[in-house]
Chains A and B, each alone.
Chain A
């Protein structure tokens, strides 16, 4: 009985998916290329900003932000980190990575916060969304790198798309959690004073969920940074490049300084955004 020996493949899911993706590429490539446009535009804008401004100005901007949101120590750490990265010869890559990360986080927030709000307000939607988020977080990114490349071709924008898939869940989850944590008495009070459903959302739920949403944003940012190397595999620029190059040609030193720069950048951005969240 072939049904109980498991010696042959009975469900050719792999070839179905293959066929499906090929079909998508054949018929809807234009559509997927269209999706790239807003990402491309925002990325270009950010890249232009970070690469044309003199490094000193950039360092000043980040230091001021670090000072305001994180205090003196964070500001000092920021200055040192940026100078070190610059002296390591990774300034341009760092700026490209910052642009990538910021535009990924921007689109994650754009998609994730509304999704989180909906899932916070509707149990049914949450039940539907949860397995999707689980899948996005656990499916190894290598699995969707190939279809992403097939649909969007290689390059930084594809890297950002892969990053969005991976970094989206925390902002959705934490937004939903924040909305759900609003004390029901407060919602009842708002309703008792004649709030409409939209007013409850705007005047009570979102403001009170803000700390949680900011924490979600911080997590999303961290996850976006952790995708930098994988994004480099499909042709994204930035700090992932020295790491991938180093690995490919066994240049351990090169890979290490790339890694170091990523870690420093992560710490700087984390401290600044955490400071923002705690305000």
Chain B
């Protein structure tokens, strides 16, 4: 087993209702969940879910309401008992744990942050933050010390003696976060933790989480229905639909290569310019000119004419980016110079290569400013490819409903 895997979900099912056996049998036979509900009255919450969550990553489980994401996260700490399948945490199957083991695991290894905050109204902020430690039997002094530290991390130490109802929503959720952090868990389960907050506070809390994550790498399982949020904080995303996990991948992977129409529809409204980097979209389809000693402007011009291109990207034998030349520029250089022209004189100085890590948003001005495609280099200065206006627009367009016609067709056939 891979050491880096913190949580491993294998073939997990949850069926709610009374006719569970029959429903499971029908699922095996490949019936749809709607059909099963009609026949047996049982509701399929999660079916054949499987994925691995790596140590220290923020893993976002995303889906619309009813997709089973809340059920899924509650099966990770067995607040909801799975119908079948395995949840391995550090290689231990929690579905096979006794009540005592389960309580111990919940106290030591994981904590949870809730959408509705779920703070105890009869306890002060400090007592709330210390709640997990209190359950574990820590003595008052030790637990309040740790709770105060946790409150300090989220900037709420001055409010330790207040009651939750005296705080704003954002502050209450900070207390919820502090309660989760105070027990120093390996795993933090966050169930739509920021969804009840207004957008500004939500972003602030996301930053807070990323900041905390930068200090201590915990494994965070974050449930969200908000794609922007998922993209912003997620190292990897699992997309759920109708109880199934339809795709798992990094935001870029999913955005670039959606598994099906559902995922694509999800990403339709998303602005890709903040998510995709120059390195993600650059293609090596431009003409490259390798500047060896023998190459002179004439040979470069020949190559451009032969390929019917206006611009050429000059690289060395190790693919290190040197400069950009245009056919016109080369012609002028050859015509004007009295001595042997050098390729370096033809470089177009205005075009500065962009790093692969720059977002689409960042490179937009440069792409727009020059008729040539913008060269993209990696951190070692190696040429990765270029981004033309055309390519840029195409990337934007890919997230628009390009297959409307197809889905309409399917809908008609379905009728």
Contacts and interface: CB of A to CB of B under 8 A. Distances in A.
Interface in A198-224: 199, 203-204, 207-208, 210
A190 B122 CA distance: 14
B120 A204 contact: yes
Contacts of A196: 103
Nearest to A211: B122
A264 interface: no
B107 A194 contact: yes
B131 interface: yes
B135 A194 contact: yes
A196 B77 CA distance: 14
B136 interface: yes
B116 A203 contact: no
Contact of A193 (B116, B122, B132): B132
B111 A193 contact: yes
Contacts of A192: 77, 79, 106, 110-112, 189
Interface in B69-99: 77, 79
B249 to A, nearest CB: 28
B134 A203 contact: yes
B114 interface: yes
B118 interface: yes
B103 A189 contact: no
B132 A186 contact: no
Interface residues of B, number: 26
Interface string A152-195: 00000000000000000000000000000001011011111111
A207 B111 contact: no
A193 B120 contact: no
A154 to B, nearest CB: 46
B118 A188 contact: yes
A17 B79 CA distance: 50
B73 to A, nearest CB: 10
B106 A190 contact: no
B219 to A, nearest CB: 16
A210 B121 CA distance: 12
Contacts of B134: 203
Contacts of A190: 131, 135
Interface in B242-262: none
A203 B114 CA distance: 19
Interface in B105-163: 105-108, 110-112, 114, 116, 118-122, 131-132, 134-136
B118 A194 contact: no
Contacts of B108: 194
A193 B118 contact: no
B135 A188 contact: no
B104 interface: yes
A191 B179 CA distance: 13
B118 A191 contact: no
B135 A193 contact: yes
Contacts of B60: none
A195 B79 CA distance: 11
Contacts of B104: 194
B183 interface: yes
B114 A193 contact: no
Contacts of B107: 193-194
A188 B106 contact: no
A61 B108 CA distance: 50
Contact of A191 (B79, B105, B116, B183): B79
Given A188-B114, A207-B122, A208-B121, A193 B183 contact: yes
A203 B130 CA distance: 13
Given A185-B116, A194-B103, A194-B104, A199 B79 contact: no
Contacts of B120: 186, 189, 203-204, 207-208
A196 B183 CA distance: 17
A184 to B, nearest CB: 9
A193 B121 contact: no
A192 B107 CA distance: 8
A186 B136 contact: no
Nearest to B100: A196
Nearest to A207: B122
Contacts of A193: 106-107, 111-112, 131-132, 135, 179, 183
Contacts of A210: 122
B165 to A, nearest CB: 13
Contacts of B79: 188, 191-192
A194 B116 contact: no
A60 to B, nearest CB: 33
Given A192-B112, A204-B120, A208-B121, 16 more contacts: A185-B114, A186-B120, A189-B118, A192-B79, A192-B111, A192-B189, A193-B107, A193-B111, A193-B112, A193-B131, A193-B132, A193-B183, A194-B107, A194-B108, A203-B120, A208-B120
26 contacts: A183-B118, A185-B116, A185-B118, A186-B120, A188-B114, A188-B118, A189-B118, A189-B119, A189-B120, A191-B79, A192-B79, A192-B106, A192-B112, A193-B107, A193-B112, A193-B131, A193-B132, A193-B135, A194-B104, A194-B107, A194-B135, A199-B135, A203-B134, A204-B120, A207-B122, A208-B121
Lowest 6 CB-CB distances: which A-B pairs, in order?
A: A194-B107, A194-B106, A189-B118, A192-B112, A193-B132, A185-B118
